[in-house]
């Protein structure tokens, strides 16, 4: 507990965390869900603006007449903009449209890079040349689009007396990575270790 209090009141921590705010960027990735379209008999507007299967603007139709026209062509009536006035519908082969959309999603998913979390460990009194070597490895992992967990392990009474050294090392790492990384989690104590997470920019 004493070690945690010392970390919170450490003068280097406040300035370091303020500096992190300059290049820390939070990101939120929305969950993708398939949007189910309103088609054929489920289109229940009085009037719709109709687009042909070739993209031609066909004008204003009653929903009933628009559906009949779609059926005459052996196609479906699909609502594409319910918020418009009047709502916009298009004549298309809905099964083919869904197939093409799913195929595009699958291709996009294949191109996505699987992000792993690598870990780099070091001690509070790590020599500069060793620290530089570890920074080089962190940059390599970031270049591979991986996240990196940077862990400093304290032994015995180091947790009380060496946290300032640990904070200095974390600051050196953050400054060295400023052009390559974003700070996902600023340094914080977890048990007997100080942990910081970084991730590649633009991912």
CATH number, domain containing residue 136: 3.30.110.10
pLDDT at site 20 = 52
Please determine, for residue 51, whether its predicted confidence score (pLDDT) is greater than 90. Answer: yes
74 and 20, same structural domain?
Answer: no
Write down which residue in 110, 145, 160 finishes a domain. 110
Please determine, for residue 19, whether its predicted confidence score (pLDDT) is greater than 90. Answer: no
pLDDT in tens, 123-162: 887 888 888 899 999 999 999 889 999 999 888 888 777 7
Please determine, for residue 33, whether its predicted confidence score (pLDDT) is greater than 80. Answer: no
Helices (H), the chain: 2-9, 11-20, 63-72, 94-111, 128-143, 158-161, 163-176
Alpha carbons 62 and 60: distance in angstroms, whole number? 7
- Measure the N-to-C terminal CA separation of the chain; round to a whole number of Å: 37
pLDDT at site 203 = 63
121 lies in a domain?
Answer: yes
pLDDT at site 14 = 53
34 lies in a domain?
Answer: no
For residue 124, the tally of other CB atoms under 10 A from its CB is 20
128 and 104, same structural domain?
Answer: no
Domain of residue 120 covers 2-28+113-200
Identify whether 197 is preceded by a cis peptide bond (ω within 30 of 0).
no
Please determine, for residue 25, whether its predicted confidence score (pLDDT) is greater than 70. Answer: no
Determine contact, residues 90/78, Cβ cutoff 8 Å. Answer: yes
Residue with the larger pLDDT of the pair 196 and 36: 196
């Amino acid at each position: 507990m004493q070690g945690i209090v010392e970390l919170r009141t450490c003068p280097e921590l406040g300035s370091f965390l303020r500096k992190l705010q300059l290049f820390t960027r939070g990101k939120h990735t929305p969950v993708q869900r398939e949007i189910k379209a309103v088609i054929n008999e489920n289109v229940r507007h009085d009037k719709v603006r109709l687009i042909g299967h070739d993209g031609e603007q066909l004008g204003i139709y009653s929903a009933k007449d628009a559906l009949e026209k779609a059926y005459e062509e052996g196609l479906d009536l699909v609502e594409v903009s319910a918020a418009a006035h009047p709502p916009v519908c298009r004549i298309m082969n809905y099964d083919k449209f869904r197939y093409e959309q799913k195929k595009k999603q699958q291709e996009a998913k294949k191109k996505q890079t699987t992000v792993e979390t690598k870990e780099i460990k070091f001690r509070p009194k790590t020599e500069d040349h060793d620290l530089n070597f570890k920074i080089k490895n962190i940059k390599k992992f970031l270049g591979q689009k991986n996240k990196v967990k940077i862990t400093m392990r304290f032994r015995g009474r180091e947790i009380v007396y060496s946290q300032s050294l640990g904070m200095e090392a974390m600051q050196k790492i953050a400054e060295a990575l400023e052009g390559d990384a974003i700070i996902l989690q600023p340094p914080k104590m977890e048990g007997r270790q100080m942990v910081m997470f970084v991730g590649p920019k633009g991912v």
